[in-house]
Amino acid sequence: MNNVFVICEVDEGKIADVSLELMTKGRSLANQLKCKLEALVLGHNLKGIEKELYPYGADVVHIGDDERLDPYTTLPHTSVIVDLFKKEEPQIALLGASTFGRDLGPRVSSALQSGLTADCTSLEIGPHEDKKAGKTYEDLLYQIRPAFGGNIVATIINPDCRPQMATVREGVMKKEIYDATYKGKVSKIEVDKILKPEDLVVNVIERHMEKSKVNIKNSSIIVSGGYGVGSKENFNMLYELAEVLGAEVGASRAAVDAGYAEHERQIGQTGVTVRPKLYIACGISGQIQHTAGMEESSMIIAINNDPNAPINKIADYAITGDVGEVVPKLIKFYKQNTK
Ligand code: FAD
């Protein structure tokens, strides 16, 4: 009882990366709290899915396998999860801030009146003292996220309602195998006994999935451009540098807003979170909303004509100069050296 739960998302028969990232986080929270980590998977044809979750430290994998749960629709998923949570009373429930999690999380939390913190950037366990009420809490979930337009980093707690629910965007937490030989157990959910006709009023007739050609998240090198690049045409030199390096092109929000790059390339708080081996920031000032999405890159090279640009504080190498001059030189140099 009172364990840590991760509501997992299934993507074409595989557990979504964001769910595995949360399993990794959930395992470390459960270790701190000295409780179990439980995963919850709903869908159809899920035979053997638990094997994907055990290596991430799942003690129990709850599986609801029913054709009415695939494809995902809000109502049946909500009913099954609410029913399970009423019985299991988790202390923490985590899910990805994906389209799935953004739709499902609020439904579940409002049915349980638990509250939910969306888009957390960090999750920790800690105490809290409510002096007014004269109460002390030992192990609360600190749900940490930027607030007020990113001007503060807020730590949100939920002392009284359970579960403490939070969503986290893909890439924010690290996915790491806990123990390749870890073995938990399966708990089958009797979906038939839970679903009611009113849960099944939505019938998905057809699905159309648009696959993005941009793959920033999995790229080990990213050449990223900001407003300082100056124009959409100037971004072409970033594509050229990226091609030479086998990299992907990213962008700041200011560059996206100015129409220099597509939104799916945006890196930062309201874009993608990345951890490449090399991040080359071209004409990017380094505001917190941007750095939140790339500061864990193994190496950062900043190219900026302002020697005092904030990005230089987190850069391993800072090149002070005009992107229009520096980037062509890099292309020339790398081309020469890869011949
Ligand atoms: P600027 O801040 O305009 O910086 C341009 C930089 O280029 C400057 O440092 C300048 O010195 C340099 N420069 C200019 N000309 C040249 C040149 N010729 N050669 C070299 N350097 C040059 N931003 C994000 O990026 N991602 C997000 O996800 C994001 N989410 C946000 C969410 C919220 C709620 C809010 C309020 C803001 C968010 N922002 C986000 C916006 C963020 O606050 C900044 O406005 C944005 O990151 C700035 O982009 P930039 O660095 O490209 O532009």
Straight-line distance from the first to the last Cα atom of the chain, in angstroms, rounded to the nearest whole number? 61
Nearest CA to ligand 1 atom 25: 252
Q: Measured between alpha carbons, how far is 277 from 275 in angstroms, rounded to an integer?
A: 7
**ipTM above 0.90?**
yes
The residue ranking higher by pLDDT, 294 or 209, is: 294
69 pLDDT exceeds 80?
Answer: yes
Task: Please work out whether the CB of residue 305 comes within 6 Å of at least one atom of ligand 1.
Answer: yes
Residue 157 CA to ligand 1 center (angstroms) comes to 31
Could you tell me the pLDDT band of residue 323, with boundaries at 50, 70 and 90?
very high
Task: Please work out whether the CB of residue 253 comes within 6 Å of at least one atom of ligand 1.
Answer: yes
Could you tell me the pLDDT band of residue 1, with boundaries at 50, 70 and 90?
low
- Closest by CA position to 217, among listed 276, 153, 162, 287: 276
64 pLDDT exceeds 90?
Answer: yes
The torsion defined by the Cα of 97, 275, 249 and 288, in degrees rounded to 10, comes to: 70
Task: Please work out whether the CB of residue 291 comes within 6 Å of at least one atom of ligand 1.
Answer: no
Give SS3 for 142: strand
Q: What pLDDT, on the 0 to 100 scale, is given for residue 339?
A: 63
Atom of ligand 1 nearest to the CA of 271: 28
Residues pairing with 167 in the sheet: 95
The 3 state secondary structure assigned to 276-312 is CCEEEEECCCCCHHHHCCCCCCCEEEEEECCCCCCHH
- Closest by CA position to 283, among listed 229, 319, 203: 229
Q: Is 4-200 CATH 3.20.20.70?
A: no
211 pLDDT exceeds 90?
Answer: no
Would you give the DSSP letter of residue 228? G
Percent of the chain with pLDDT over 90: 89
136 pLDDT exceeds 70?
Answer: yes
Q: Is 221-337 CATH 2.60.120.20?
A: no
Residue to probe by mutation, ligand 1, list 152, 304, 311, 314, most atoms within 8 Å of CB: 304
Residue to probe by mutation, ligand 1, list 249, 284, 330, most atoms within 8 Å of CB: 284
Percent of the chain with pLDDT over 70: 99
Residue 253 CA to ligand 1 center (angstroms) comes to 6
Residue 286 CA to ligand 1 center (angstroms) comes to 6
Domain ranges across the chain: 4-200, 221-337
Answer whether 261's CB lies under 8 Å from 254's CB. no
Nearest CA to ligand 1 atom 45: 254
Atom of ligand 1 nearest to the CA of 322: 19
Burial class (CB in 10 A: 0-12, 13-18, 19+), 178: middle
Residues ≥6 apart with Cβ < 8 Å to 103: 74
Other Cβ atoms less than 10 A from the Cβ of 186: the count is 16
Answer whether 18's CB lies under 8 Å from 169's CB. yes
Could you tell me the pLDDT band of residue 152, with boundaries at 50, 70 and 90?
confident
Answer whether 52's CB lies under 8 Å from 8's CB. no
Q: Which two tokens stand for residue 323?
A: 């992107």
CA–chain centroid gap for 117, Å, is 13
Q: Measured between alpha carbons, how far is 320 from 36 in angstroms, rounded to an integer?
A: 51
124 pLDDT exceeds 70?
Answer: yes
The amino acid present at 211, given as its one-letter code, is: K
Q: Measured between alpha carbons, how far is 312 from 101 in angstroms, rounded to an integer?
A: 35
298 pLDDT exceeds 90?
Answer: yes
Same fold flag, 4-200 and 221-337: yes
19 pLDDT exceeds 90?
Answer: yes
Task: Please work out whether the CB of residue 250 comes within 6 Å of at least one atom of ligand 1.
Answer: no
Task: Please work out whether the CB of residue 304 comes within 6 Å of at least one atom of ligand 1.
Answer: yes
